[in-house]
A and B are shown apart, each in its own frame.
Chain A
């Protein structure tokens, strides 16, 4: 009876403290902005099963991934036993759930085995942290506090496992010695009890009792320690995965407040849900913790500081200040700092500090290439890039602050419709002397005809001297296959992608609405793109502005033609040249297109080698996120050189690419490494054209 009272009391205190912590956290959540509506529970459930329970993402690092999976699955199983302990503690029973029979036996046995496995895994983890230097655990954001937190958490888990092991051993030993009925199966407990045969029945019983109390009290303590620790992910990770964004990673969320403004600018008469004049315009972008969405904050609480994101960040790898982990930790820390003050003094409270600049510097933000490696790597689907872009949005839209080169790019897009200073009049220069007439939309429609596809050339296709050859190659292929297509020619203007990635949502939407109007005017339904950035923006982002088209990436189109037999590729045409393929971030990670290029390359040559970092592990070329147009932030190395080295390590004579930015970077990389004479960077379209004798 006394035990029950003490137990109930401990449980009560635990709940009280936990309730206090949770209510404070909820009060901070109330300060954040609304995010996306949580829909599609079936799909979310399936993702949760795969990523959270299946631990699929943590297996991206196979060895430590496996050890972590053991710990996680162990927790899942052991929690059953913990629930039973609470029931036992409150009602004074012993092993109250044993009536579940074989199911009970199975769960308890699994728990027993896992206790050992988890303990071993934890010992490995602790040893790594204490005795080895793991690069991923270092960084400017990793202060003593983080290491201490990690070691404490790991130690607590170890103690939890040890107490469980001795609990089970004690139980087995005691029950066996006393000849009493054993509820449940304890494979390891039995072995250990057998090894400790010198202990009396009473000894075992005391072992059991002490371990039981130690275990449950540790759980109570641990449960309340977690919300203040990086290990809060024990509670938060599974829900965080359930709340993953379902959009393709390449998609940025539309700023509806800007759409309102843009439509008013373009047509003051247009009624776009007019906001009443008294409402103060909300802040654009993220400057401080309260500007983040509830999901950003949820992400920051779930972040366990594992650093996998930072370890694959191309900026961080090459010595820039950006660390996606730091972004998450800073948000959490800033909310911890400002949240209580805002709860007490109101949302308008200012302590003259901010997430921007006092925690996260502009330099970090401008180093990002939006490659999505961090989000792809995160085992619990945290969305770091959205915070980075939202903070860029604040800088650009509220402060008109951006690196000088990007301001020039914004002006260029606004004034002449391309990131560089070129006249729209020159958008068909690539088509000169190509040997056949390139159909232009305006001419075609004037003649009463409509093409099946609009071939969107893009600004790089029109103005980048090297990439013009790729456009010509692809146009020749389309012509060779008799595909019905047309280009917009001089009516093309920038999709707005560089502006959007750089945070200039206003300029992006102005461009987008212009493009959508033009496309709708011609009743375009199918668009072929060769540039992954154009592909991504048309497919994933234009629909938010009511620009809904069927968007086809050229590799998918070519693959279809190969499958249909329309496009015949003679594998001997390229003499089995050794090729390696660089996955563009906006094709691969952002949109999941990995197979088609490889399929095509395997048709072109029997000699395709993968780089070490390929597919979703591919290293960014360094040009995304508007980096192409500006000086790189200070670092140790250029990203494009790092990636070129990846490619050169394969000893391939051709680096195949599928993106104008990647092509610029890789070509520069080859020049930099003085290999441009023996290694060539070619687009897949060029290789096909070559094999068809059209190049």
Chain B
């Protein structure tokens, strides 16, 4: 018995989400009174692999195979399945990101393991194995019992904190034979984004409206966004007037986005604008009008002049860095 966690790497490096995942899996292993094994596919150096040990993994398996350079859902599933069987994993944890969502369902059928996808808490119960997950796009939460002996969990991003543990991990390199004929995915081209963060992909978006009064006032907003690692957006009148590029227009007739955090500066919150951003996890509004409809949709708000508030926020962020 063990818990297996798939630790994804990006060009050989782990990200914060990897460690959140390991922390989570480690807690589950504790609940089950068993050990945690991490499995990594790709060219990841030992020093990087060892980091997983700091968050609870006792065994770290690394598989580096030419044919697994690119994510092929079928091939990766086969490899992880094999490891899962070898490690007698009873719980397998992946992230609910694109990679996790590509592998988990296939793994489920391969191992006949039920899946709790997009879970945001530790299992509510071990017997029966019950997990807590988001349903109806956040309008309801479900307690799901996974009846199979092996369970797969995909953890929602940004939902578990890092828990450091004493490190006593071992790194094991395994050579898994991969039939190249079974790797069907061929990559023709990779387009990496450089520079500006794509609005539709961004986790944090800072958006400006007519309340900014003039295109010349955008500098503090752009700086604020950049310090937050956020993409910039705008409301319709702003894009109509040409103050900001057309691609930044969010709203019913512009882009519809759902970032983790949407900061609306000088935006009143018309129906059409909110239609574009209402699925954001958190909305913050900065506006001089306390009756502006945006405050009905926001979780946090500042009634004030953006021109005074933004510089203060920028300063605070700079100090924090």
Q: Do any beta carbons of A and B sit within 8 angstroms of each other in the complex?
A: yes
Interface residues of A (CB under 8 A from B): 405, 408, 420-421, 463-466, 629-631, 638, 664, 668, 671-672, 674
Query: CB < 8 Å: which of A408, A629, A630, A672 contacts B241?
Result: A672
| Distance in Å: Cβ of B243 to nearest Cβ of chain A | 12
| Distance in Å: Cβ of B239 to nearest Cβ of chain A | 10
Interface residues of B (CB under 8 A from A): 210, 213, 237, 240-241, 252-253, 269-272, 275, 293, 296
| A671/B237 in contact, CB under 8 A | yes
Point out the residues of chain A lying under 8 angstroms from B252, CB to CB. 405, 408, 420, 629
- The answer for the CA separation of A87 and B241 in the assembled complex, in Å, is 69
Point out the residues of chain A lying under 8 angstroms from B210, CB to CB. 671-672
Query: CB < 8 Å: which of A420, A465, A629, A664 contacts B293?
Result: A465
| B253/A630 in contact, CB under 8 A | yes
- The answer for the CA separation of A674 and B252 in the assembled complex, in Å, is 23
- The answer for the CA separation of A465 and B269 in the assembled complex, in Å, is 9
| A421/B275 in contact, CB under 8 A | yes
Query: CB < 8 Å: which of A408, A465, A638, A674 contacts B270?
Result: A465
- The answer for the CA separation of A473 and B157 in the assembled complex, in Å, is 46
15 A–B pairs (Cβ distance < 8 Å), ordered by A? A420-B252, A420-B271, A420-B275, A463-B271, A464-B271, A465-B271, A465-B293, A466-B270, A629-B253, A631-B253, A664-B270, A671-B237, A672-B237, A672-B241, A674-B213
Q: Which residue of B lies closest to A463 (CB)?
A: B271
Top 10 closest pairs, chain A to chain B, by CB: A465-B293, A405-B253, A671-B210, A631-B253, A464-B271, A420-B271, A420-B275, A421-B275, A463-B271, A672-B237
Knowing A405-B252, A630-B253 are in contact, say whether A668-B237 is a contact too (CB < 8 A). yes
Point out the residues of chain A lying under 8 angstroms from B270, CB to CB. 465-466, 664
Q: Which among A421, A465, A672 has the greatest number of chain B C-beta atoms within 10 A?
A: A465
Q: Which residue of B lies closest to A641 (CB)?
A: B240
Point out the residues of chain A lying under 8 angstroms from B240, CB to CB. 638
| Distance in Å: Cβ of A457 to nearest Cβ of chain B | 15
Point out the residues of chain B lying under 8 angstroms from A408, CB to CB. 252
Q: Which residue of B lies closest to A460 (CB)?
A: B271
Point out the residues of chain A lying under 8 angstroms from B241, CB to CB. 672
Q: Which residue of A lies closest to B296 (CB)?
A: A465
Q: A664-B270, A672-B237 are in contact. List 16 more A-B contacts (CB 8 A).
A: A420-B271, A420-B275, A421-B275, A465-B270, A465-B296, A466-B270, A629-B252, A629-B253, A630-B253, A638-B240, A668-B237, A671-B210, A671-B237, A672-B210, A672-B241, A674-B213
Point out the residues of chain A lying under 8 angstroms from B237, CB to CB. 668, 671-672
- The answer for the CA separation of A601 and B296 in the assembled complex, in Å, is 33
Q: Which among A463, A630, A638, A671 has the greatest number of chain B C-beta atoms within 10 A?
A: A671
- The answer for the CA separation of A637 and B253 in the assembled complex, in Å, is 18
- The answer for the CA separation of A668 and B241 in the assembled complex, in Å, is 12
| Distance in Å: Cβ of A555 to nearest Cβ of chain B | 25
- The answer for the CA separation of A408 and B296 in the assembled complex, in Å, is 25
- The answer for the CA separation of A465 and B240 in the assembled complex, in Å, is 22
| Distance in Å: Cβ of A403 to nearest Cβ of chain B | 10
- The answer for the CA separation of A672 and B269 in the assembled complex, in Å, is 16
- The answer for the CA separation of A664 and B252 in the assembled complex, in Å, is 15
| Distance in Å: Cβ of B265 to nearest Cβ of chain A | 15
| Distance in Å: Cβ of A260 to nearest Cβ of chain B | 34
- The answer for the CA separation of A638 and B240 in the assembled complex, in Å, is 10
Point out the residues of chain B lying under 8 angstroms from A638, CB to CB. 240
| Distance in Å: Cβ of A311 to nearest Cβ of chain B | 26
| Distance in Å: Cβ of B142 to nearest Cβ of chain A | 21
Q: Which residue of A lies closest to B292 (CB)?
A: A465
- The answer for the CA separation of A350 and B272 in the assembled complex, in Å, is 44
Point out the residues of chain A lying under 8 angstroms from B213, CB to CB. 674
- The answer for the CA separation of A293 and B271 in the assembled complex, in Å, is 40
- The answer for the CA separation of A421 and B279 in the assembled complex, in Å, is 12
- The answer for the CA separation of A420 and B253 in the assembled complex, in Å, is 11
- The answer for the CA separation of A627 and B275 in the assembled complex, in Å, is 17
- The answer for the CA separation of A437 and B84 in the assembled complex, in Å, is 63
- The answer for the CA separation of A664 and B237 in the assembled complex, in Å, is 13
- The answer for the CA separation of A466 and B237 in the assembled complex, in Å, is 17
Point out the residues of chain A lying under 8 angstroms from B293, CB to CB. 465
| Distance in Å: Cβ of B104 to nearest Cβ of chain A | 30
Q: Which residue of B lies closest to A674 (CB)?
A: B213
- The answer for the CA separation of A672 and B296 in the assembled complex, in Å, is 24
| Distance in Å: Cβ of B190 to nearest Cβ of chain A | 30
- The answer for the CA separation of A371 and B124 in the assembled complex, in Å, is 61
- The answer for the CA separation of A671 and B266 in the assembled complex, in Å, is 12
Point out the residues of chain B lying under 8 angstroms from A664, CB to CB. 270
| Distance in Å: Cβ of A640 to nearest Cβ of chain B | 11
Q: Which residue of B lies closest to A668 (CB)?
A: B237
- The answer for the CA separation of A469 and B252 in the assembled complex, in Å, is 22
- The answer for the CA separation of A421 and B271 in the assembled complex, in Å, is 9
Point out the residues of chain B lying under 8 angstroms from A463, CB to CB. 271
Point out the residues of chain B lying under 8 angstroms from A631, CB to CB. 253
